[in-house]
């Protein structure tokens, strides 16, 4: 007995199928997707949880909303956008992944990401480690002084915080000042040798945004606004996100 062929575009409703169509470029057509696998070839999450970008997209197109929204793979995607870069149709798969994450009840999302997001919201440093503005300033000044003394060729190197009128506003991974302070000076040295006019901000200096990975739009916006406001208040021309 011959098996019945799978038909796309049937009566099964799919919020994800609608999202796929919305994210196609002008003139794009989902039916032109040949499942070439380019999206999966460079994906660091390919094969994890028995999933990859190509499979995720096809399941979305087939209306398998429940299966893909419950897949743990959506929390393994890094959002690096390599899949978009290589896709001939430029389909925004990470945006679909974000939509899938947002469909989870907040309390059921990964506890580590929830904790990091909530910690970042506790003070205006936005540090996922809970580091205050004062502690960040102390560590930066202490490490800077150490390197100025140990390496005379960098005795004039600076690591300013809240410098008014600096051209570049930089942020910093919040783990490094706490657990890996020696990871900060290499960037300072590059900026020093290049003659870059830059500054950290006392507020919004943390570079990572776990609330974005949590798909918490309200919290993500709050952190981003703190950071961008600090850059604006300092009169910086360019915001450079080191993450």
Given a cut of 70, whether residue 13 has pLDDT beyond it is no
| Euclidean distance between CA atoms 97 and 101, whole angstroms | 6
SS3 216: coil
pLDDT digits (tens, 9 = 90+) for 61-111: 888 888 988 999 999 999 999 998 998 888 888 888 998 999 999 999 999
pLDDT tens-place string over residues 138-165: 999 999 999 999 999 999 999 999 999 9
- 163-213 pLDDT per residue, tens: 999 999 999 999 999 999 999 999 999 999 999 999 999 999 999 999 999
- Per-residue b or e along 53-80, where b marks 16 or more CB atoms closer than 10 Å to that residue's CB: bbbbbbbbbbbbbeebbebebbbbbeee
Q: Hey, where are the domains in the chain?
A: 15-104, 111-240
Task: Report the predicted TM-score, pTM, of the whole model to 2 decimal places.
Answer: 0.81
């Amino acid at each position: 007995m011959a098996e019945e062929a799978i038909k796309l575009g049937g009566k099964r409703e799919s919020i994800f199928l609608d999202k796929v169509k919305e994210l196609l470029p002008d003139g794009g057509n989902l039916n032109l997707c040949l499942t070439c696998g380019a999206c999966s070839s460079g994906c660091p999450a390919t094969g994890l949880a028995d999933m990859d970008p190509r499979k995720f997209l096809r399941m979305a197109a087939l209306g398998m909303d429940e299966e893909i929204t419950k897949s743990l793979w959506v929390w393994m995607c890094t959002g690096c956008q390599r899949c978009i870069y290589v896709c001939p149709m430029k389909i925004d798969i990470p945006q679909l992944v974000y939509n899938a994450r947002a469909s989870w009840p907040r309390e059921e999302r990964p506890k580590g990401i929830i904790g990091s997001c909530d910690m970042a919201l506790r003070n205006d440093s936005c540090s996922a480690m809970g580091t205050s503005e004062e502690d960040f300033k102390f560590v930066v000044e202490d490490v800077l002084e150490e390197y100025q003394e140990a390496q005379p060729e960098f005795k004039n190197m600076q690591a300013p915080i809240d410098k008014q009128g600096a051209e570049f506003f930089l942020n910093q991974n919040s783990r490094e000042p706490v657990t890996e302070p020696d990871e900060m000076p290499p960037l300072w040295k590059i900026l020093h040798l290049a003659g870059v006019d830059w500054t950290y901000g006392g507020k919004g200096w943390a570079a990572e945004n776990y609330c974005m990975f949590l798909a918490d739009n309200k919290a993500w916006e709050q952190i981003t606004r703190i950071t961008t406001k600090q850059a604006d208040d300092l009169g910086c021309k360019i915001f450079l996100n080191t993450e």
